[in-house]
Structure 1
Amino acid sequence: MSGTMRGVYTNLTEIRRRVFAEVARIAYASANEKGEASVDDTAAQLQQLPYEIVPGDVATYRESVFLERAIVQERIRLAMGLPLQDLDRPETVSDGIKKAAVPETYYEPPLVNVIKFACNACEDNVYRVMPNACQGCLAHPCREICPKGAISFRDKKAFIDHDKCIKCGRCANVCPYHAIHHHVRPCADACGMHAIGSDEHGRAEIDYEKCVSCGQCLVNCPFGAIADKSQIFQTIMAINAGDEVIAEVAPAFVGQFGGKGNVDKLREAFKELGFAGMEEVALGADLCTVEEAEDFLDEVPEKIPFMGTSCCPAWSVMAKKEFPEHAGCISMALTPMTLTARLIRRQHPNAKIVFVGPCSAKKLEAMRKSVKSEVDFVLTFEEMAGMMQAKDIDYTKLAGEGGDFDVASADGRGFAVAGGVANAVVNAIHRRYPDREVNVANAEGLDECRKMMRMAVKGKYNGYLLEGMACPGGCVAGAGTLQAVAKSAGAVKMYSKKSSRKNATENAYRMLIPELERDEDGKHEQDQVAETNEAQMPKE
């Protein structure tokens, strides 16, 4: 069931993107001639914004226009990086704006939020009979197979006593008319961490001790009741202040804004948005590949029984949290985001670096102490599209200046698609040892990743390289993407083939890996898992 709405442009999609665009527009307009933000003017515009997004006095989607505006207000606050309003006391959409207007402001916990009064309080894990489908058949297989006697017949229709039902699902499996349906809450169904339960009113509630911020819940809630915080406002404040702001763009960017890659168009778009430059994160993917290939050759199976890849933070954190005794089996290599940021800082030590990609979990990764000094802001493709809309930039109509990134390898670019990370590492190993057999296991979605780890812990994958991807389909299926997963995967594969470098070992920057991997405290950022999930966000 998870992912059924992906790639479908809905009314909810329109509202979400309109909020991003309007917040970005206000941010760009907030600076005076000296680049200083006018907080009072910004607050006044924010107060008016819900009425612009939801005009009139007739509700379009909900039972009340006032409820629609209240939900939009909460989305505006989250887009500003602000917490949800405290409904127990008077508060306005602009409360806290002075703090949000400072470029260095970071998220307060939690990152992913449930807007309670937007939640439909969907039934979760309940079996119900669809009366129009039930034929009251003579065999009554549903009743006969029920181990708890929870099924009886009323008016010749099956009836389930939920006080007795243990939710085993046997009745649904044997019904010849498929008249028994398993109702699950869409957000909970999409959550591979099983972190979503219900509060006392039946509304969704997130267990932040389990949540790894993969974002699958927020893109699978058909009521738009779940949203994560953004740094759109803070990024634009840094641009307005005249800072050197450089974007590093994840490999999944291809086709997200239209076109077929069009790096020259994307570079021009970032320039018009006020960025000083743009680099390809696939460059860091190459470095990560080389590092993981070296680690695999050095450690498996002599030191560790298997090795898991490191680039997906949600998968990495899940594996280390739930299988702590095998945490050392997950690669300690820095992620492509961090490696690319460190490369950029070699030439631009005072720049503000913005990771632009498909992933909400990267927002959580960027808050680790060992990464925060490297990556200043994280924006999704959807948030970036909002910035383009705010500046009236039509990406496909930009002239572009010609040229490609032409730095990263085809394998590095392939990180965005499920299977791509493992493929890159195997190819790097084969460059040194062509005859070395490397067994690989892949998993997409955190539930499948968990199953893979359980098998590995039991010894089923000794000597293997494990690739985990929290999002089914890989990074191209991240919560912040704009296009259908299959379409994006195809675009990435086509773009990868254009690289003049096929293998990560052909990347000239690979000689810098030892220097880039070195932290001040001598620890890799992947060692910081313990700090990653304390109330989701560390407080400094």
Structure 2
Amino acid sequence: MRNLYCNVEALRKQVFAAVAKLAYEGGDYCSRMEKLPYEIIPGEAGTYRESIFLERAIVGERIRLAMGLPLRDVTEENMISDGVEASAISEKYYDPPLINIIKYACHACPDTHYEVTQACQGCLAKHCYQSCPKGAIELEHGRARIDQTKCIKCGRCKEACSYQAIIKFLRPCQEACGMNAIGKDQYGRADIDHEKCVNCGQCLVNCPFGAIVDKGQIFQLIHAIKKGEKVIAIIAPAFWGQFGEKVTPGQILTAMKQLGFEGLEEVAVGADLCAVEEAEEFMEHVPARQPFMATSCCPAWSVMAKKEFPGFAPYISMTMTPMVLTARLQKRKHPDCKIAFIGPCAAKKLEASRRSVRSEVDFVLTFEELRGMFAAKDIDFSQIPDTEAHYKASAPGVGFAASGGVAKAVEKVIQTKNPDREVKTVYAAGLRACRQMLRVARSGKYDGYLLEGMACPGGCIAGAGTVQPPEKSRRMLEQYEARAALDNPLDSEYMEDIELLYEDPENWDRVSRH
């Protein structure tokens, strides 16, 4: 179950806090890094696994990945701090792969399959036996058994069993991966096909052994702050409630300044601009130039669509994502600043690594990583007085964080600009659902539609870098939407600044805007 506070999450928080503290305090990074696993996993007996040495080895790899360093080769003699000099800098982008498997942390779970449990009663009806189309159900001593060499995993036996004695055993990482990118190596451990992977991070948060980890930029971000760089944080609208139900935007702003950030802006402002731009693009292109248009906000979804449906690539909106729009707006206003995007998404780290985006977004951190920074600085939100945060996005802009929110925002703009225009929308969340939506679009059933895709089930509020359970996040987001002063993206005061986003606003080309 996602986002329950557990040993895996506690360990991640400790690692992020330790890396942040290391960066803030400085000193001899090499010797301090070597000591960190002993500080995080003290004592002489294992707490989570059979060996404390294994636990510390895994923590060592987590520390390296959190600092943007690669996994070590287990067959060679090396130290946790190897290569740290190359990461102790204020500017470093993610080196592929972004999503990594710590092999000796992997439990080598069996592949997804159906199996008969002890609840089998050896009944007379034998519905499971009768329902199997491949004769995979065998009877031993009156009880059912599944021959895995014959089973096609259709699930009919499970549906037929009156006692619910047949279960579907899931390999969590494989089930979570909407790209079928996870296989296994010669030892049965999980293995990622990076040609298929779109870095959504769902495998990362669904592995109950914490064996899958993404790289981070905490170390480099803090170096930039210590160096005196003006770092402005831009925070995704899914932030509401992530750091506690009673934590207000004003308290978060104060806490961010205590971390050393110059300021904090909300990405929902960029979502407002994105909704307006996509609305104009839709009205101009559909159906005159293309049968439908798909939204561009989720990088994992758009990469999946281009990989598996290359013919649809021209139909994906060329509007910049809210992250990039917000970052570019801040850089036009403050040319000497650095931008740190704080959000729920692992795939945004990959988006920020693109050559066309690097000049706009310098750092990407998840809410979980930011929480580690708060822990490193001992920030207690209960001791921070509430202040005005001056957030000025519209309710639909805030709603971008939940599945269906982008489509609703774009539809709202179109209805305002052209009340006589009928807008048909459809949305899907989760890569398998997104793939099915595109299959239907290929049949022509969605001609004239606006298609919204989100890689994470539930939308950004269920991203791999979130802290709170998705349903709780949805409720908190709805409260935030209800408090928004504006009800239409077109009313955003930032519309006056939209010309700052383009070098030549009179003659810009949509195709060159990513």
Query: Counterpart amino acid of 2:359?
Result: S
1:372 Cα deviation from its structure 2 partner:
0.6
Contact 1:260-1:495 within 8 A present in 2 as well: no
Secondary structure, in 3 states, of the residue corresponding to 1:440? strand
In structure 2, the CA distance between the partners of 1:526 and 1:134, relative to structure 1 (3 Å rule), is: farther
Alpha-carbon deviations, 1:234-271, whole Å to 9, x = none? 00011111111110011111111124562211111111
1:436 Cα deviation from its structure 2 partner:
2.1
Query: Counterpart amino acid of 1:150?
Result: A
Secondary structure, in 3 states, of the residue corresponding to 2:62? helix
Supply the distance in 2 between the matched residues of 1:343 and 1:76 (Cα, whole angstroms): 34
1:116 Cα deviation from its structure 2 partner:
0.7
Contact 2:266-2:391 within 8 A present in 1 as well: no
Alpha-carbon deviations, 1:2-29, whole Å to 9, x = none? xxx2231111110111100011011100
Contact 2:112-2:168 within 8 A present in 1 as well: yes
> Tell me, which stretches of 5 or more residues in structure 1 are unaligned?
31-37, 529-540
Selected match of 2:2 from 1, 6, 29? 6
Secondary structure, in 3 states, of the residue corresponding to 1:366? helix
Match of 2:71 in 1: 84
1:232 aligns with 2:200: no
1:471 aligns with 2:467: no
Match of 2:487 in 1: 502
Q: How many residues are matched?
A: 513
Quote the RMSD (CA, aligned, Å).
1.8
Supply the distance in 1 between the matched residues of 2:287 and 2:131 (Cα, whole angstroms): 48
1:180 Cα deviation from its structure 2 partner:
1.7
Match of 2:149 in 1: 163
Selected match of 1:411 from 396, 409, 433? 396
Query: Counterpart amino acid of 2:109?
Result: C
TM-score w.r.t. structure 2 length?
A: 0.96
Supply the distance in 1 between the matched residues of 2:291 and 2:472 (Cα, whole angstroms): 37
Match of 2:405 in 1: 420
Match of 1:532 in 2: none
Contact 2:114-2:153 within 8 A present in 1 as well: yes
Supply the distance in 1 between the matched residues of 2:302 and 2:156 (Cα, whole angstroms): 35
1:173 Cα deviation from its structure 2 partner:
2.1
Supply the distance in 2 between the matched residues of 1:51 and 1:182 (Cα, whole angstroms): 39
Selected match of 1:66 from 53, 64, 67? 53
Contact 2:232-2:338 within 8 A present in 1 as well: yes
Supply the distance in 1 between the matched residues of 2:137 and 2:477 (Cα, whole angstroms): 51
Contact 1:260-1:491 within 8 A present in 2 as well: no
Contact 2:106-2:211 within 8 A present in 1 as well: yes
1:167 Cα deviation from its structure 2 partner:
2.4
In structure 2, the CA distance between the partners of 1:321 and 1:315, relative to structure 1 (3 Å rule), is: same
1:439 aligns with 2:435: no
1:46-445 equivalence runs, <5 A: 46-130=33-117, 132-260=118-246, 262-400=248-386, 402-445=387-430
Query: Counterpart amino acid of 2:54?
Result: L
In structure 2, the CA distance between the partners of 1:517 and 1:173, relative to structure 1 (3 Å rule), is: farther
In structure 2, the CA distance between the partners of 1:122 and 1:523, relative to structure 1 (3 Å rule), is: farther
Contact 1:281-1:337 within 8 A present in 2 as well: yes
1:397 Cα deviation from its structure 2 partner:
2.5
Supply the distance in 2 between the matched residues of 1:526 and 1:166 (Cα, whole angstroms): 47
Supply the distance in 1 between the matched residues of 2:423 and 2:503 (Cα, whole angstroms): 28
Supply the distance in 1 between the matched residues of 2:412 and 2:5 (Cα, whole angstroms): 38
Alpha-carbon deviations, 1:273-316, whole Å to 9, x = none? 00111111111101100000001111111111111111111111
> Tell me, which stretches of 5 or more residues in structure 2 are unaligned?
none
Contact 2:339-2:362 within 8 A present in 1 as well: yes
Supply the distance in 2 between the matched residues of 1:147 and 1:408 (Cα, whole angstroms): 56
Supply the distance in 1 between the matched residues of 2:429 and 2:390 (Cα, whole angstroms): 29
Runs of 4+ that moved beyond 4 A: 517-520, 522-528
Query: Counterpart amino acid of 1:65?
Result: I
1:474 Cα deviation from its structure 2 partner:
1.1
In structure 2, the CA distance between the partners of 1:75 and 1:146, relative to structure 1 (3 Å rule), is: same
Secondary structure, in 3 states, of the residue corresponding to 2:445? coil
Secondary structure, in 3 states, of the residue corresponding to 1:89? coil
